[in-house]
Chains A and B, each alone.
Chain A
Amino acid sequence: MTNHYVEFIDKRKVNKWLRLLKDPKSDKVNVWIATMEECNYLELCLLSTKCPHVLSGLLSLSMIRRKSYKDVFKNKNIQPIKPVDDYIGLMIYVIRQNAKLLNEYISLRSKIDNYALRGNYHEAKKLLTIVNTSISYSYWAANYEIKIERLENGLDSCTSFYNKLYTENNTIARLYYYCAYVSSSLDYPSDKMNTLLWPKEKENSEYVNNVIISHCMPYQAFTDGEWIRSDCNSSIVDLYNNLINYLPNLSPETLNNDKVRFYLSELSKIIEDPYVDKLCHLYGISDKCNLSDVRRTILDSYSRGNYAMVIELAKGYLDDITNDIEILSLYLKSYILSGIDPGVFDKEGSIFERVCYHYYEILRHSENVAVHKNKLIGICKSQCHIYGMRHLYTILSNLDNHSISNVYSDTWKYSIFSNPTDCVVFNDSTQRYDYIKSLGLDETFWNTIFYDDNHLLSPDFYEMTIAQKDDSSIFGNIISLFCKNIIAPYNQDILSSYVVNKYIDLGQPKMAIEFYVNNRLNHSELSIIFDKDKLSELISQDVSLLSEIPLELSIYYYLINTDTDTIYLSYKNCLKRFNLKKASDIVVNGDLKQRYFLTNIVVPKIITLHVLRFKSVKDVMEERIKICSSLYDFYNDKKYNDEISSLCRDLKIRELNNQVDDSKIYVDVNSIRENEMEDAKSLYDIYEGASSNVNYYSDSSLRILLSKLMSMGLSVKQIDSDSQLYAISDSSASEHQEQTNYRLDVMKRLFLNVRDQFLFNPKYGLDNYLSTRIRHGTLVNKLRNHFEQNSLVTNIVDEEYAINTFWVNSRFGVKDKTVLQCVSRFNEFSKKVDGVIANFKNECVQVKTETETSKMKACFNYDIKYFENFINELIIDESIKSFCDCYDAIINELWQHTDECLESVKDELYRIQASLIDALHTLGKDINNILPNNNSGLIQFNDAIGHCQNDIQNDIQAVARWFKRKNYEDFDFTLSQVIQTCIDSINDNNKKSIATVLNCNLNTALKGTYFGTLYDMFHDILNNAYDYDTKNNIGGVCNIDINLENEFLIVYVCNPILPEHAPSLEKKVMEINSTLDAMFKSGKSRNEGNSGCSKIFNAVHNHLGSDHNTYRNEIKDANFIVNIAVELSPLKK
């Protein structure tokens, strides 16, 4: 510790300045500032002894013993310019002149810290007041008060105090007050301060940022430099704090400067600050060791493993010196290592209690370590003005380091008292040992750590972190401890990381992977950081790993979140090695790795890729169900059962979705037979009773009447514009007198009756189901959906297509005339798409006959001319012996014809597909021609065209599947399933999903025959709700409640509406409610005005097996409510 520096005293200089100071005409302050600039430490000391007493205040910078917060940083001119090392000397001179006061401050500060940590804010504030009044006001005290005010009295009081400070002081202190204020919350200290930092490229950023960090965020790293002068005119307390803050961050050059070391040795002589003593001792500047006997005993007891003693002594010690974080660490670790229960720490209590709570959870490696770490770091940042909190912050930061040799890398900087771990400041292990010896600690223990290779590893692994040992015996011992599972929880992360990296360095990938996997499986919360790239390289070089550790490799890939392909190939590799075709063939045996593999890796996402084994989504899900069943049988873990239920539910929904597609083309022929065939039966009776030989003139002689009328001067065209009648009026037609076979005629009328019921019955007929299941809401959404998803079409707003802002503004970013060209083109495209789809829906997916001709392009064309031959054959068919036979034969023929119509619908579909794709291509070409090649949105646009082309073909294919009749196969379902199927269907066919909450606990199995009707019903209800919500941009939730009351299913569907719409909707609902029944009886179901209510009515009253069902809509409390009651027993399986 010998310092050869000798500070030279220039007596002539001293006398010169003395004369100037004594000169009554001189400006004393400026002279003194100049004196401080020119004289060194010893010269200043000499000067102060020679100056008259009247100048002692000036010479001790008494003006920075501030009388109020307002005064802090006043006297801006007190800024002597000196090099940093000399400036240190100057500061120490000032401290020397105020040593008594500062020693008082140091003593009070330690008590204030204690009180603050313990939540005794009242006492803390009392002492702060004493510091302010008897020593100096300071921004340190102001910041402290801001924080205490927040803790004690809450945000309002704190804000009020801060605002007062801010307005009263317009110096740099404002910045410090601001930072103290924004970080005053323990729960969320805010990162606003980071926004204050200057970008590195800005001039003087280093200077500025060092000032900000050292004063406001001292837990972050900062460097020494000229900026230290910024506190010269603050206050005596702040000047001292600034210097002390600076000391642990001295650069090696500054620290090795003999002059600086001389000044620091002077400081250690005059100041009674244990922290200064510790630093000077560590730097080899002084021999003063600040270890008390109690502290030494605690440290030694911990080393010897006498944790009970540590707990006993530390408890009392921490009552007096609460901010000794090192002792707190040993105290909490002792609880963990001894297994003694520390009791409950109050996580909402004082700062100290909260620190204990979170720190203990971190040390014992609880499940939510990251959460606790976050919270504790927040507390440290918020309360960094309290000595010790920065020490805790560095400890926590080093935990994330995951390098065993860096555990204590900079904790020495901020621990108040000397600790053996401070020795890491020395690179050489001999120096480290010497330092520890100088602390007077247990020499036997530390001698063993440094020099004895054959002892048990210390619980905190000092051998590695302090004695810098890392040989194979240490490594072997660590592995052995892991095998016995006796690693302290707070060391698990760091030692696991060490072991894995060590194996990697030794070129042993198998060991690394096995260790990693075994430990992660046993401790799921472990965080192991290692060189993944290096390990990947080793794995790729060692193909034997695939056969030796296939399971571990697979789990390893999963744990490190590698890509799905890699995990999949490793899964396949496992099957290969186990000689199995499928994972469900694995016999569950209780092995942890096997369980992990089956639970987490062989999941649908992976199984799906195994395309050579599993050919469909159903196969994949069934495989997963088998695996979960095996796991559940062995482990009886509820989560497997839950997964099975979820998969079964999904499978069922998929099946039901297919049912929906398969049942679009439907006619309720049974209900028609039972309810609508009175007339037809009568006709059949007539037919049966008529002789086959009866013929009659079928010409109604209308043409004779017409001729007569013409002769009377009337134009036939005026009577009937139908050209047929006009042709009849031609006189040559008088030769056409035909006779019709009576029986044939009756059969024809019977056929027409059945046909018309088949087609047009409002409850059971084909057109009703085409309307309900295809035209209403479903078809347009299905075909338009992907155009919307790719933002290629817009909707009509105020009778015009909305501008496609997505592409034109946001993606293409075009201006001027190009905007108009693009907008126009997109509008044309929207119109084209909507036109094509509307035409298909309104013209093609329609029914026509020779009398029902309103839809001329209808694909479902049942003109009588197609059935003439059939009818002729029917009357000679000897197998027709009853009305039922006749009915069945007609229905069969009608279905066959329907199949032909379905083919023409599909042909039409493929025509519109070509039309839509052509329109897409044209749009693509046109937009590419309008925009310059380098437009940044073009790539995305062209991709969107491609996606849309692909998707529309899938959509057309899906729609084409609707137009195929499928024979009914019996199945059952539950209400939840049918509702979920509706929801899925709506979500699949729309850009946005419908928000629903479903409350239905009924699991009654219902007959499959009612699936279609219930689906139609719920689909219409939900679709209406969705359309309204989307159109009015409400963003509401549709609530669906299903309950059973007196054997009736009570369905209650409620979705929010805009309050201003309530009156008009109420009126509409009343109209609908009162006219529905009448509408049906009059057969006007086709003109329901798109509300779907008539379809719901039809479903409820006519297709759910009971006459007692009810259906009502209402508006209540700005909600649209659907109330349905359906008798359960007809529906039950």
Chain B
Amino acid sequence: MKILLVEDDEHKMHDIISIVKEIDAHVVIDTAFSVASGVQKAVDNEYDLLLLDMTIPNFDNTEGKDGGPSYKNGGELIIRELIDEEINFRCAVITQYETFNNETIEQISERISELCRECYHGYIKYSTMNENWKDELKKLLQKCSR
């Protein structure tokens, strides 16, 4: 299984990768740190699953380069862009925030679900204070690997 993880928080990224590897060591995980690199990778490669953070910068915050604006719904932007580019994909959102610009994650998730229909597999609430997200991630991976 090949996953693209779009996440700019390195700590969270390492957490997710280590859990994924625990669940299935054979999973190949690609990473991207921004809307731009996430979209580019998703367009250039085929993935079984896109795991998208919501709040991410538009561009990579690489050395000497300004990452540009950080979007509260960056994950959603990626999804819309891929739909517009007619790329087939499956995705889920993995976020640690409850609200984004006066919207809740539930409201955003509902909207994405209407956009993507079957290719959207819901959202996982990442937290450093409990481990529920790990079980949810596990279930998601199991579902996607079938």
Interchain nearest-CB distance for A450 vs B (Å):
51
Q: Which of B12, B36, B129 has a CB less than 8 Å from the CB of A924?
A: B129
Contact check, B59 vs A617: say whether CB atoms are below 8 A apart: yes
Query: Contacts A612-B81, A924-B129, A943-B97; is A953 near B36 (CB within 8 Å)?
Result: no
* 0 or 1 for each of B69-101: is its CB under 8 Å from A? (1 = yes): 100000011001100110000000000111100
What's the Cα separation between A433 and B41 when bound, in Å?
Answer: 72
A658 at interface, CB cutoff 8 A? yes
Q: Which of B68, B80, B85, B99 has a CB less than 8 Å from the CB of A612?
A: B85
Interchain nearest-CB distance for B96 vs A (Å):
4
Query: Contacts A609-B77, A612-B85; is A658 near B129 (CB within 8 Å)?
Result: no
List chain B residues, Cβ under 8 A from A612: 39-40, 43, 81, 85
| Chain B interface, >50% SS class | loop
Query: Contacts A608-B69, A921-B128, A957-B61; is A939 near B36 (CB within 8 Å)?
Result: no
The A/B interface has a contact count, at CB < 8 Å, of 88
Contact check, A950 vs B9: say whether CB atoms are below 8 A apart: yes
Contact check, A615 vs B61: say whether CB atoms are below 8 A apart: no
A928 at interface, CB cutoff 8 A? yes
What's the Cα separation between A950 and B71 when bound, in Å?
Answer: 13
* 0 or 1 for each of B51-63: is its CB under 8 Å from A? (1 = yes): 0000100110101
Query: Contacts A611-B81, A658-B64, A961-B63; is A949 near B40 (CB within 8 Å)?
Result: no
List chain A residues, Cβ under 8 A from B81: 609, 611-612
Chain B, 16-67, CB within 8 A of any chain A CB: 34-36, 39-40, 43, 55, 58-59, 61, 63-67
B146 at interface, CB cutoff 8 A? no
A654 at interface, CB cutoff 8 A? yes
Interchain nearest-CB distance for A363 vs B (Å):
41
A627 at interface, CB cutoff 8 A? no
What's the Cα separation between A615 and B36 when bound, in Å?
Answer: 7
The residue among B10, B43, B61 with the most chain A CB atoms within 10 A of its own CB is B10
What's the Cα separation between A917 and B96 when bound, in Å?
Answer: 14
Query: Contacts A615-B59, A925-B129, A950-B8; is A608 near B39 (CB within 8 Å)?
Result: no
A620 at interface, CB cutoff 8 A? yes
> Which residue of chain A has its CB nearest to the CB of B59?
A616
Contact check, B59 vs A943: say whether CB atoms are below 8 A apart: no
What's the Cα separation between A661 and B61 when bound, in Å?
Answer: 14
Q: How many residues does chain A have at the interface if contact means C-beta atoms less than 8 Å apart? A: 37
Chain A, 909-950, CB within 8 A of any chain B CB: 917, 920-921, 924-925, 928, 939-940, 942-943, 945-947, 949-950
Contact check, A924 vs B59: say whether CB atoms are below 8 A apart: no
Interchain nearest-CB distance for B84 vs A (Å):
6
B11 at interface, CB cutoff 8 A? yes
What's the Cα separation between A950 and B7 when bound, in Å?
Answer: 10
> Which residue of chain B has its CB nearest to the CB of A961?
B63
Contact check, B64 vs A616: say whether CB atoms are below 8 A apart: no
Query: Contacts A609-B77, A658-B64, A924-B129; is A949 near B59 (CB within 8 Å)?
Result: no
Contact check, A928 vs B36: say whether CB atoms are below 8 A apart: no
* 0 or 1 for each of B116-129: is its CB under 8 Å from A? (1 = yes): 00000000000111
Contact check, B128 vs A943: say whether CB atoms are below 8 A apart: no
Q: Which of B34, B63, B80 has a CB less than 8 Å from the CB of A569?
A: B80
List chain A residues, Cβ under 8 A from B85: 612
What's the Cα separation between A943 and B76 when bound, in Å?
Answer: 19
Contact check, B68 vs A617: say whether CB atoms are below 8 A apart: yes
> Which residue of chain A has its CB nearest to the CB of B35?
A611
A565 at interface, CB cutoff 8 A? yes
List chain B residues, Cβ under 8 A from A917: 11
Interchain nearest-CB distance for A565 vs B (Å):
6
Contact check, B36 vs A949: say whether CB atoms are below 8 A apart: no
List chain A residues, Cβ under 8 A from B40: 611-612
What's the Cα separation between A615 and B35 when bound, in Å?
Answer: 10
List chain B residues, Cβ under 8 A from A616: 59, 65-66, 68
Interchain nearest-CB distance for B57 vs A (Å):
8
List chain B residues, Cβ under 8 A from A942: 96, 98, 127, 129
Contact check, A620 vs B68: say whether CB atoms are below 8 A apart: yes
Q: How many residues does chain B have at the interface if contact means C-beta atoms less than 8 Å apart? A: 35
What's the Cα separation between A920 and B98 when bound, in Å?
Answer: 18
Contact check, A608 vs B68: say whether CB atoms are below 8 A apart: yes
What's the Cα separation between A917 and B14 when bound, in Å?
Answer: 13
What's the Cα separation between A953 and B128 when bound, in Å?
Answer: 15
Interchain nearest-CB distance for A771 vs B (Å):
24
List chain B residues, Cβ under 8 A from A695: none
Query: Contacts A565-B80, A612-B85, A616-B59; is A953 near B68 (CB within 8 Å)?
Result: no
> Which residue of chain B has its CB nearest to the CB of A612?
B39
What's the Cα separation between A964 and B39 when bound, in Å?
Answer: 30
What's the Cα separation between A953 and B9 when bound, in Å?
Answer: 7
What's the Cα separation between A662 and B12 when bound, in Å?
Answer: 28
A572 at interface, CB cutoff 8 A? yes
Contact check, A946 vs B65: say whether CB atoms are below 8 A apart: no
List chain A residues, Cβ under 8 A from B64: 658, 661-662, 961
Chain A, 807-824, CB within 8 A of any chain B CB: none
Contact check, B8 vs A608: say whether CB atoms are below 8 A apart: no
A30 at interface, CB cutoff 8 A? no
List chain A residues, Cβ under 8 A from B59: 611, 615-617
Interchain nearest-CB distance for B73 vs A (Å):
9
A954 at interface, CB cutoff 8 A? yes
Chain A, 588-622, CB within 8 A of any chain B CB: 608-609, 611-612, 615-618, 620
List chain A residues, Cβ under 8 A from B128: 920-921, 924-925, 945, 949
What's the Cα separation between A611 and B80 when bound, in Å?
Answer: 12
> Which residue of chain A has its CB nearest to the CB of B69?
A608
Contact check, B55 vs A654: say whether CB atoms are below 8 A apart: no
> Which residue of chain A has its CB nearest to the CB of B34?
A611
Contact check, A565 vs B77: say whether CB atoms are below 8 A apart: yes
List chain A residues, Cβ under 8 A from B65: 616-618, 658
Interchain nearest-CB distance for B13 vs A (Å):
10
Chain A, 940-988, CB within 8 A of any chain B CB: 940, 942-943, 945-947, 949-950, 953-954, 957, 961, 964
List chain A residues, Cβ under 8 A from B96: 942, 946, 949
What's the Cα separation between A950 and B97 when bound, in Å?
Answer: 11
Contact check, B11 vs A953: say whether CB atoms are below 8 A apart: yes
Contact check, B99 vs A608: say whether CB atoms are below 8 A apart: no
List chain B residues, Cβ under 8 A from A943: 97-99
List chain B residues, Cβ under 8 A from A961: 63-64
The residue among A620, A662, A953 with the most chain B CB atoms within 10 A of its own CB is A953
What's the Cα separation between A943 and B100 when bound, in Å?
Answer: 10
List chain B residues, Cβ under 8 A from A949: 9, 11-12, 96, 128
List chain A residues, Cβ under 8 A from B9: 949-950, 953
What's the Cα separation between A615 and B40 when bound, in Å?
Answer: 10
What's the Cα separation between A939 and B129 when bound, in Å?
Answer: 13
* 0 or 1 for each of A842-876: is its CB under 8 Å from B? (1 = yes): 00000000000000000000000000000000000
What's the Cα separation between A611 and B10 when bound, in Å?
Answer: 22
> Which residue of chain A has its CB nearest to the CB of B68?
A617
Interchain nearest-CB distance for A28 vs B (Å):
71
What's the Cα separation between A946 and B55 when bound, in Å?
Answer: 10
What's the Cα separation between A949 and B13 when bound, in Å?
Answer: 12
> Which residue of chain A has its CB nearest to the CB of B11?
A917
What's the Cα separation between A984 and B57 when bound, in Å?
Answer: 19
Q: Which 9 A-B pairs have the closest CB atoms?
A: A611-B36, A946-B96, A921-B128, A617-B68, A950-B9, A617-B66, A939-B98, A658-B64, A943-B97
Residues in chain B within 8 A of chain A (CB atoms): 8-12, 34-36, 39-40, 43, 55, 58-59, 61, 63-69, 76-77, 80-81, 84-85, 96-99, 127-129
Instruction: Enumerate 5 A-B pairs (CB-CB under 8 Å) in ascending A order.
Output: A618-B65, A657-B66, A658-B65, A942-B98, A954-B8
In addition to A928-B129, A950-B12, A953-B9, 15 A-B residue pairs with Cβ atoms within 8 Å of each other are: A565-B77, A572-B84, A608-B68, A611-B39, A612-B39, A616-B66, A657-B66, A662-B64, A924-B129, A942-B98, A945-B128, A947-B97, A949-B12, A961-B64, A964-B63
Residues in chain A within 8 A of chain B (CB atoms): 565, 569, 572, 608-609, 611-612, 615-618, 620, 654, 657-658, 661-662, 917, 920-921, 924-925, 928, 939-940, 942-943, 945-947, 949-950, 953-954, 957, 961, 964
